[in-house]
Amino acid sequence: KQTSPCQSEFYQAVEEVLESLTPVLDSNDRYQKQAIIQRMIEPERQIIFRVPWVDDKGDIQVNKGYRIEFNSALGPYKGGLRFHPSVNASIIKFLGFEQIFKNALTGLPIGGGKGGANFDPKGRSDGEIMRFCQSFMTELYRHIGPTTDVPAGDIGVGAREIGYMFGQYKRLTGRYEGVLTGKSLLWGGSLARKEATGYGAVYFAQYILEDRNDTLKGKSCLVSGAGNVAIYAIEKLYQLGAVPVSCSDSRGTIFHETGIDLKLLKDLKEVCRTSLENYINTHPSAQYIPVSDYPKDGHAVWRFKANAAFPCATQNELTEKDAQALISNGCMLVCEGANMPSTQAAVDAFIAANIAFGPGKAANAGGVATSQLEMAQNASMQNWTFKKVDEKLKVIMKNIFDAANDTAKEYGQSGNLVVGANIAGFKRVAEAMIEQGIV
């Protein structure tokens, strides 16, 4: 156990997984003899690089870029790129570590990796974004490839940024190949990739409820975030008859009791790229809570009463106090669209209260799974229909739920999908590592 204050997010993610693995490690000394844990928590390769670029005023800016190639036992490294000022080695390592197990759970041939930069895209012009992306790829291109490492989007990286990076990769290498996923539909992207993480998280919630003889129909749902994952979780919740009543961004939270206006939300975030504050100009009856008015010990969004909660913004955005508020308000399901959005104490509170809980590494795996479907389409030079991709996504999410649920039962922790997902993902990677020798 590490106690150093640095890399706290990485240690948090590792501790959560290791605690779940105790019964497997205790009952199987092969993993200890093979030093599987020691090997698994050390990335195969960490690349940290300078990203110099010129802003619109002609001033030189310098950011720090990362690509952590964590584990390739199951396939090429796969995982997104995050552009956010909070990015550091701890954040990228926690995301890369989680990605190993998530990718294993999909059952697809993909290893785990993650990357990004401490670049803040907010307020930057289109030209500045392009120059940053080009500089970032000018270093990254030598480390990636369609059969080695295939990055995708994450916070701050959508189709626009993927486009600029792909353009630069092509210019540097002279190759037109599936080296990135989350591409535009015009040139190699997959239908339903944009929707996949949000849709997948809601499918996962549906499978959890089905197992408890319940459905999402008529349930009020708190959603945090207002980006790619949150928007398409909200869209799927509506399609399945639920009522999403909130969303949030880095400046505040909207609560709209009769249901979030999805068209307006898309317009504000996907088209205008503006703050959620503007939502109440159209809907004065909705509430807007700025970050300055959030409770000191948590997030305003989790203090409203609802049947279910979908954290879809960022890590550690749901605290123990938030969990207690949700539980005492009668929330019966929490399904994580974001990566590690609930603190460990919050997760413990949900499990202790027997709340149906879908951990991120299982519930949000639909995004990376559909990225792998994009790779398959690129490699075979095909374009599948939206329906075909969505059907495959549903099957993958059901398989992930079954794997986590069955494994939890097998280890005597029925219903605990945290333990089930961690053990199921771990075993697949560990067995592949053993078969491939000490590398």
Residues contributing to the site for ligand NDP (CB under 6 A): 153-156, 197, 225-230, 249-251, 312-314, 337-339, 364, 367
Closer CB to ligand NDP, 425 or 433, in the complex = 425
Q: Which two tokens stand for residue 266?
A: 């898309």
- Min separation Cβ 274 and ligand NDP, Å: 9
Phi, psi of 412 (to 5 degrees): 70, 25
- Min separation Cβ 160 and ligand NDP, Å: 11
Closer CB to ligand NDP, 103 or 138, in the complex = 103
For residue 99, what are the CA distances in angstroms to 92, 103, 128, 368? Answer: 10, 6, 30, 9
Concatenating the DSSP letter of every residue in 44-96 gives SEEEEEEEEEE-TTS-EEEEEEEEEEEE-SSSSEEEEEEE-TT--HHHHHHHH
Is 114 designated active site?
yes
- Min separation Cβ 92 and ligand NDP, Å: 11
| Residues facing residue 356 across a β-bridge | 333
Q: Which two tokens stand for residue 166?
A: 């792909």
- Min separation Cβ 337 and ligand NDP, Å: 6
- Min separation Cβ 32 and ligand NDP, Å: 31
Q: Which helix (H) or strand (E) holds 342?
A: none
For ligand NDP, which residue has the nearest CB?
A: 227
Closer CB to ligand NDP, 197 or 206, in the complex = 197
Q: Give the active site residue among 78, 102, 114, 392.
A: 114
Phi, psi of 46 (to 5 degrees): -125, 125
How crowded is the C-beta side of 353, counted as CA atoms within 13 Å?
22
Closer CB to ligand NDP, 367 or 420, in the complex = 367
- Min separation Cβ 84 and ligand NDP, Å: 6
Nearest Cα residue to 233 out of 151, 289, 308: 308
What are the strands, taking DSSP E only, across 268-332?
287-290, 308-311
Closer CB to ligand NDP, 137 or 233, in the complex = 233
Alpha carbon of residue 76 to chain centroid: 18
Distance (Å, rounded) from C-alpha 18 to C-alpha 342?
A: 17
By the 10 Å C-beta count (0-12 exposed, 13-18 middle, 19+ buried), 272 is classed as exposed
Closer CB to ligand NDP, 228 or 372, in the complex = 228
Distance (Å, rounded) from C-alpha 310 to C-alpha 334?
A: 6
SS3 label, residue 229: helix
- Residues marked as catalytic: 114
